[in-house]
Amino acid sequence: MNVILLGPPGTGKGTQAELISEHYKIPHISTGDMFREIQKEDSELGKKVKDLIMGGKFVGDEITVEIVKKRINQKDCKNGFLLDGFPRTIPQAEALDKLTKIDHALLIRSSDDVIVKRLSSRRQCRKCNAIYGIDKKPENEGVCDKCGGELYQREDDKEEVIQKRLDTYREQTEPLIEYYTRKGIIAEVDGEQAIQKISESIQKILG
């Protein structure tokens, strides 16, 4: 089963992706996590990616498609995968269609108010990338429940970048809703419910 997650930043895609990945035993592939690794590199590309992320802009389609292509060709994706944060543009969706068949596109929606609140309180684990926030607090502040890693606030979750990310989403990613609606594989989920409720709705859709 090949699944993609759509929706604005801060709507809970990452949290739901962790749950879907555990339940259906398919790898969670987050292009955002991949780019956060790349931006740490002391290289031309690392610097370029960092500047784009901090400007609330997208990394180029060509390089993004390339890293996804490499990743979904790995052995653990044989029985399916879950893409979180990809595709984010029409050219990426078209490229993905040439690589494989997508079975479900899940669209998680939330209002801007909820998104801004969630993003500004979000913390991520430096080691395993687990996500925490107002709806899911760690047992010990600043420490990941899963692996004991340090929790940090993403630079692009700061208020000045959030609005730019929302604008970029509207301009470049929202047209994908129409794209997948035409293919008849999109299902919408209310992202303002409790984490468990959202997860139940998703399981009903995926079966």
> Which residues form the catalytic set?
13, 88, 122, 154, 165
- Going through the chain in order, the beta strands assigned E by DSSP cover 2-6, 28-30, 81-84, 104-109, 123-125, 131-132, 151-152, 186-190
Toward ligand AMP, which CB reaches closer, 48 or 135? 48
Residue range at the interface with ligand AMP (CB under 6 A); choices 82-90, 131-139, 177-185, 189-197: 82-90
Q: Which is nearer to ligand AMP, 35 or 180 (CB)?
A: 35
Among 32, 82, 105, 130, binds ligand AMP (CB under 6 A): 32
From candidates 144, 165, 186, 199, binder to ligand AMP by CB under 6 A: 165
State how far the Cα of 55 lies from the Cα of 28, in Å rounded to an integer: 25
Is residue 9 at the binding interface for ligand AMP, with CB under 6 A as the rule?
yes
Token pair for residue 32? 């955002």
Residue 191 binds to ligand AMP (criterion: CB under 6 A): no
Residue 203: partners with Cβ closer than 8 Å, 6 or more residues away = 23
Per-residue mark of binding to ligand AMP, 109-138 (x: CB under 6 A):
------------------------------
**Using rule CB under 6 A, residue 38 touches ligand AMP:** no
Do 63 and 57 touch, CB atoms closer than 8 A?
A: no
Binding of ligand AMP at residue 85 (CB under 6 A)? yes
Selected range binding ligand AMP among 53-61, 140-148, 188-196, 197-205, rule: CB under 6 A: 53-61
Q: How far apart are CA 102 and CA 110, in angstroms?
A: 24
Residue 52 in 3-state DSSP? helix
Helices (H) and strands (E) in the chain, counts: 9, 8
Dist. CA 100–CA 46, nearest whole Å? 28
Give residues in contact with ligand AMP (CB under 6 A): 9, 31-32, 35, 52-53, 57-59, 64, 85-86, 88, 92, 156, 165
